[in-house]
Amino acid sequence: MKTVLTYGTFDLFHIGHLNILKRLKAQGDRLIVGVSTDDFNAIKGKRPIVPFDQRIEIVRSIRFVDEAIPEESWEQKREDIRKYNVDVFGIGEDWKGKFDDLEDEVEVIYLPRTTGVSTTEMKRVLSEFDERHVESLKNTLDTLSQIVKELS
């Protein structure tokens, strides 16, 4: 069995996220996805809109994903490669070259991004809303998360 591992924040889940997970699943038999915790994102200087427990539940609900785990540190990648007997580490090409040091343990692949969609761009647009609108959006995302849970 060939195991593929990836990591991401998966905030404001969109078609680009789905595409990369689908392409990574095609690289092997089993796909494990590390979802960055809110605390780890803070270390990276990121502030997700969707809370960790909802983001990991969304990722777990994707049919291409066999297992979703919390990502809590940079060092965790090597530990997880060994723990889950990983064959391929894959991630978006925006990280190209950043994980080449893992090649002593696994095959490292960088996949192209989906054009025309970006969490960063979505957040930029959202930042133009005032706090009331942002709170309303968060409530809508909470509702959508509940629907995803009920459907899975």
Catalytically annotated residues? 44, 46
Residue 141 region, left (φ>0) first, then alpha (ψ -120 to 50), else beta?
alpha
Terminal CA-to-CA distance of the chain, rounded, Å? 26
Nearest to 120 by CA among 29, 46, 34, 19: 46
Dihedral pair phi/psi, residue 81, rounded to 5°: -55, -45
Q: Please list the residues that pair with 88 across neighbouring strands.
A: 4, 107
